[in-house]
Amino acid sequence: MKLLSTLSPAETMLVIDSSCSLKDMMKYTFMDLLLKRVIEIKVENKRVLARDKYAKKVEVIKSYNYVIKGKNFDKYNPKVHELIFLAPYQKSSSFKILFKHLVKLAYENAGSSKSFKSSVLNSKYLKDLLKVNLFQQVFGGMSLTQEGTRTKDEILKYLKPIDENIHNLLNGDKKKALELLLSLGGNIFLLNNLDFSLLKKINKQLLKEQKSVYNESYDTGDDWWYYFDFYDDNYAFDSYFDDFDSTIDSFDSDFDAAGCSSCDSGCSSCGGCGGCN
């Protein structure tokens, strides 16, 4: 199904269920950009002081995730809704942004669920599939056109057997599995039964063969080709699903913080002090 390889996960979600949550749409957009290596995670290790079980101060090494420009950033042609994550890197190429700051930044850039969905709706691929009437323009929402309803059914019909069989295929017929996964582009995140660790088992020779097959049917200038980089580099990042959820969920409580922490000497109840030694 060629349409799926051109739709981003957020676009597909809108066709399947236009009431989908902003959080999920943002999460899959972020993961899709990682998949295409438009952005990358850089892990930095830092020595920090922590307390051991006897409350004694000990030095430990902790890892922190930063997001930087990926190897395909400069060549990539972003869709409007992807700019919530990419805009800062377009303004300055030297940005290295703490993962949780990028999530917050994107959350701010998205505005509201309604405005983010409007930006997704801007896509040329959704033009004939979704419509917004006057009432929906005011109060939010959108509905499928006749063509959209037909496409939705086709997508679900296509995804269901893949989802049911992908686990077995990755353990058995890897060629078929790769063929199907590539046909989904970034929509692999919509599969419930995909075990990302199994993707590392796909060998390079198989990937090379698939590349030459697709060379004949796909435009070589298309952004879809960036998905090969993910399978080629064995780039694993599915753990960020949970990080993304917990970061967004923590926003409400974090921003209620009074801004004061106690310190070892002096100001224990100051209005805006961040602590002293």
Any contact of residue 269 with other proteins (CB under 8 A)?
no
Q: Is 59 in the site for other proteins (CB under 8 A)?
A: no
Interaction between residue 146 and other proteins (CB under 8 A): no
Smallest gap from residue 254 Cβ to other proteins (A): 5
For other proteins, the closer of residues 179 and 243 by Cβ is 243
Residues 6+ apart with CB under 8 A from 53: none
Among 143, 239, 254, 267, the residue binding other proteins under the rule CB under 8 A is: 254
Q: Which lies closer to other proteins via its Cβ, residue 168 or residue 239? A: 239
Cβ closer to other proteins: 36 or 100?
100
Q: Does 263 bind other proteins (CB under 8 A)?
A: no
- Least separation in angstroms between residue 258's CB and other proteins is 9
What is the residue whose two structure tokens read 């582009």? 185
2 belongs to the binding site for other proteins (CB under 8 A): no
Residue from 97, 130, 166, 248 in contact with other proteins (CB under 8 A): 97
Question: Dihedral (C-alpha) 92, 95, 99, 105: value to the nearest 10 degrees?
Answer: -30
Taking CB under 8 A as the binding criterion, the range among 71-79, 83-91, 223-231, 238-246 that sits at the site for other proteins is: 83-91
How far does Cα 252 stand from its chain's mean position? 21
- Contact between 39 and other proteins per CB under 8 A: no
250 binds other proteins (CB under 8 A): yes
Interface with other proteins in residues 157-186 (CB under 8 A): none
> Could you say whether residue 104 binds other proteins (CB under 8 A)?
yes
For other proteins, the binding residue among 16, 105, 198, 207 (CB under 8 A) is 105
98 binds other proteins (CB under 8 A): yes
Name the residues that contact other proteins, by CB under 8 A: 44, 46, 48, 62, 64, 87-88, 91-92, 94-98, 100-101, 104-105, 108-109, 250, 253-255, 257, 259, 272-274, 276-277
